[in-house]
Amino acid sequence: MATEEQRLRPPSLFLMLAEARGLFELNSSLLLSPLLLRAPRGDGHPVLALPGFLASDISMAPMRRYLKELGYDAHAWNMGRNLGGIAARRGALRDLVRRIHETTGRKVSLVGWSLGGVYARDLALQAPEMVRCVVTLGSPFASDVRATNATRLYEMMSGERVEDFAELREAIAGDLPVPATSIYSRTDGVVNWRTCLLRPSDRSENIEVRLASHIGLGVNPAALWAVADRLAQPEGEFSPFDRAGPFAIAYAPPEQAISA
């Protein structure tokens, strides 16, 4: 448990109210779709898109459509609205990944938005032999995970307290056995951006998207490009994200990505 000195605060009311700009991010992606389709092409491997808290597959539809256009075998989770329950959903999600893996004969990449990214990291720990890589978007898995504006609602809807399952939460926050990328924004109005930071290593990294919102991060053009770029890496290989692409101005330099 974090001490009072270590405890992080949820994003400010100003940032939370500014989440309405997510619609602008969606419209920007639609306008920039010809440019987005210049991203590295996929090799046809399966990608499972996991929605955030209170969201459904509809929220991930733009992401799945984009990835299909790039040549990926994009899958929805088909579990209705995500009402939370990290421990409760573990078995069902593992079975879903197993079905996709067995049907396609290939490892599955996991793209999770917010809470969906927490599920994705847990899946990589449970079944690394079936998971190719993990990409999270605004997912609060590290440090003081209570530092969100959705914590109380999550506990009410899921029946789980954030303090529960401490060992599981610690594992999800640690190093993964597969390549991992965390995409986040310091202007996130729902989760404190510091809870999205993984420990960089030779197969994991943080990518900061400037000025992105939480509810718009999964449709933000710069975030979409980064997701596509990370998924296009050959299986079993990892190289740092090249911020010199068409959305270079939207990414913070890597040395700034982990500074407080």
Contacts of 204 (CB under 8 A, 6+ apart): 175, 176, 179, 180, 181, 182, 198, 238
Q: What is the pLDDT of residue 5?
A: 41
Q: What is the pLDDT of residue 176?
A: 97
The number of beta carbons lying within 10 Å of the beta carbon of residue 3 is 7
Dist. CA 53–CA 113, nearest whole Å: 9
Phi, psi of 23 (to 5 degrees): -65, -35
CB 97 within 8 A of CB 131: yes
Q: What is the pLDDT of residue 258?
A: 53
Q: What is the pLDDT of residue 6?
A: 63
Q: What is the mean pLDDT of the chain?
A: 94
Q: What is the pLDDT of residues 102-144, one digit of tens each?
A: 999 999 999 999 999 999 999 999 999 999 999 999 999 998 9
Q: What is the pLDDT of residue 7?
A: 82
Please name the helix (run of DSSP H) or strand (run of DSSP E) that holds residue 47, with its range, or none. strand 46-50
DSSP states of 135-189: EEES---SS-TT-BTTHHHHHHHHS--TTS-HHHHHHHHS--SS-EEEEE-TT-S
Computed over its alpha carbons, how large is the radius of gyration of the chain? 17
Q: What is the pLDDT of residues 51-67, one digit of tens each?
A: 999 999 999 999 999 99
Q: pLDDT confidence of 162, banded at 50, 70, 90?
A: confident
CB 70 within 8 A of CB 228: yes
Query: What is the model's pTM?
Result: 0.95
Dist. CA 78–CA 76, nearest whole Å: 6
Distances (CA, A) of 192 to 83, 148, 184, 223, 260: 20, 6, 10, 18, 12
Query: Is residue 186's pLDDT more than 50?
Result: yes
Dist. CA 206–CA 6, nearest whole Å: 21
Q: What is the pLDDT of residue 1?
A: 43
